[in-house]
Chains A and B, each alone.
Chain A
Amino acid sequence: MAQVDFVNVDKSYGSFRAVKDVSFTVGDGEFVALVGPSGCGKTTTLNLIAGLLDLTGGEIRVSGKVINDLDPKDRDIAMVFQNYALYPNKTVAQNLGFPLRMRKVAKAEIKDKVEEAARLLDITHLLDRYPRELSGGQQQRVALGRALVRDPQVFLMDEPLSNLDAKLRVQMRAELKRFHQDLNATVIYVTHDQLEAMTMADKMAVMSGGVLQQYDAPERVFEEPANLFVASFVGSPAMNLLPATRVERDGTVFATGEGWELTLSDRNGAAARRSETDAIILGARHSSLALHETETSGAIPARIYTVEPTGDLTYAHVEVGDKTFVISVPPDRRIAADQPVWIGFDQNKLHLFDAKTEQRIAQD
């Protein structure tokens, strides 16, 4: 297994820069998720590691060795594709053995390794079948087996679960995580699903517009999003964001908006002062907000827009000025649309962003 270094990686198509100056390091045996919306450059980044695309600038190193100019077959990297990309005219056994066959491995050895991989993934009974005779989950395992059989330095996975139905996806997610733990493999995993990234990865690389926005452990990305993009992308429902104006009176800092004013705690006030301009954005997760049905000091007035029960939790959509907040409340809470409410903030869980730079303002 190996460490992978991205150093100022750039990829352009003509004048369009798909990946912009991306640098990060995937440690030996780490599971890293590249996550972001469609077109953010995550799959391009993966293809750059695989050698399916050529870099425009920078370098990629695997175990310290620059692989920029190596052919895919010489990179000792295995890849699992979104549609599994199994060879339809070959049996499962032939699919599994194909990478070894291309490397001129002896037939007897191929047979042993294929059987071993099949045992590991519990697909021994499928070895003589053709891909079209398999279910999505089984095809997924074969695709994984084909990557596994070579014992590569790095595993690349391009949205491997996105073609599975919801139930199977949850099951395969757990299996993949377990697979990573057992093999202690270096895995780079592309997904647009932030929940997948949160649940599986040791580290998340959040990308947008070809730029690496934040690279950190999932809980850190969740708790301290680096900027507005990460704040709104990670977490479901998305973080509630409220533009406000910083106002200072008698040494106290307030955040104000149309028809409301919030006194900031000392810590948040100090942070707000560091904003370049007095335009700031308050961020709060659905679970850190309280919903009051009577006027409460420190809470801002709002109105219920609609109520969404999900079973465990009920999500109240609440209108604050022209913004809509999503706040979770216990399912037995009786609230109705158009009811006036007051939103209370937990100042310890409040996020502050500079509206001009869109960056997080650290609260220390």
Chain B
Amino acid sequence: MSKTHRSEPSTRGFFGRIADHRLDYLYILPALGVMMLVIAYPIYYTVYLSFFRTPPSLAMQDKIFNGIDNYITILTAESFHEVTINTMVWTFWSTFMAMILGLGAALVLNREFVGRGVLRGLLLIPYVISAVAASYIWRWIYHSDFGVLGAILLQLGLIDDKLNLLDNVDLVLPSLIVVNVWKEFPFAMIMILAGLQTVPDQLLNAARVDGAGAFERFRHVTLPHLKGVLVITVLLLFVANLNHFTIPWIMTGGGPAGASDIWITQIYQIAFGRIRFGIASAYSVILFGVMVVIGYFYVKALTGDDDRRHG
């Protein structure tokens, strides 16, 4: 045991405080070690590689330093502009729609009715299905010749011709977003449901006695209470969507003609399709930068509540 009491703020200097907590550092050392190995080193190596022109032979000793040329190549490429817009559309609409559906489903499930447990289980299914399996299933559902969706719409007389979703440059991205929203809205639902269950009954009752109707109770009591959960869920979904690879890659591979290409599929294509690790690394660094910014807001949202409580 160290001599100074733990809860007392140490009056010693920076190194003194580290010495006071030397055991705490020891405890996190193994976790820190693994993190360094599997995260920190790859980050370092990716940043390092992003300043090199790498040979397609993968003989890395032959790489040539080319400064920020890789970044200039990416940022000036015509396709970058297009892919960035796709990425933003994909990320924004996926997150937005998943939140709306998740909120709606959570509000329904928060009420007491017969079959609530069954419904909650059913709604969770998309979330627990493997993304790869779901992508293949949806590819068949969307299929222009054999797809069940097209068949139903045709039968109902809602369309006159074969449904062509995944080969249509205008419809492919929205179609993928639908799949993605279907897959991830249960996550938002569960997060929001957990938040809803912490809304104090007494507060809702007080609002009822004060004369608030159902909508006003939602607006003045439930929504403010959910604010923290909503912010964190949006940020988590945003990060997940920005990084989401499986659905677009399996369903379209970024096609047709790059119409469903987003940053992450583009990076994969450059790295493992065209074997250009230097450019792919630079691309990854750009994505990483964006993620760091979002991560900053995430951590801030997560700890903000604590600060306010202690402040």
Question: Which A residues have a C-beta under 8 Å from some C-beta of B?
Answer: 47, 50-52, 72-73, 77-79, 81-83, 85, 87-90, 98-99, 102-103, 132, 146
Contacts and interface: CB of A to CB of B under 8 A. Distances in A.
A81 B211 contact: no
Interface in B129-187: none
Contact of A79 (B200, B209, B213): B209
A132 B224 CA distance: 15
Contacts of A90: 220
**Tier of interface size on chain B:** 20 to 34
Contacts of A98: 207, 210, 212, 220
Please give me the 7 A-B residue pairs with the lowest Cβ-Cβ distance, nearest first. Answer: A102-B211, A85-B206, A73-B211, A89-B224, A99-B210, A85-B202, A72-B208
A77 B209 contact: yes
Nearest to B308: A132
B203 A99 contact: no
B224 A79 contact: no
A103 B309 CA distance: 33
Nearest to B227: A89
B205 interface: yes
A87 B202 contact: no
A78 B206 CA distance: 9
Given A87-B221, A102-B216, A146 B202 contact: no
Contact of A85 (B203, B211, B220, B227): B203
A175 to B, nearest CB: 21
Majority secondary structure of chain B interface residues (helix, strand, loop or mixed): helix
A82 B200 CA distance: 12
B220 to A, nearest CB: 6
Contacts of A83: 200, 202
Nearest to B221: A87
Contacts of A87: 203, 206-207, 220-221, 224
Given A79-B206, A85-B203, A85-B205, A102 B224 contact: no
A130 to B, nearest CB: 10
A224 B173 CA distance: 81
Contacts of B224: 87-89
Interface string B201-236: 011011111111100100011001101000000000
Given A81-B205, A146-B210, 4 more contacts: A50-B205, A50-B209, A51-B208, A87-B224
A82 B211 contact: no
Given A87-B220, A88-B224, A102 B205 contact: no
B200 A85 contact: yes
A114 to B, nearest CB: 14
17 contacts: A50-B209, A72-B208, A72-B209, A73-B212, A73-B213, A79-B206, A83-B202, A85-B203, A85-B205, A85-B206, A87-B220, A87-B221, A98-B220, A102-B216, A103-B211, A132-B308, A132-B309
Contacts of A89: 224, 227
A145 to B, nearest CB: 12
Contacts of B211: 72-73, 99, 102-103
B202 A81 contact: yes
Contacts of A50: 205, 209
Contacts of A73: 208-213
B284 to A, nearest CB: 41
- Greatest chain A CB density within 10 A among B202, B210, B220 is at B210
A85 B206 CA distance: 6
Contacts of B225: 88
B199 to A, nearest CB: 11
Contacts of B210: 73, 98-99, 102, 146
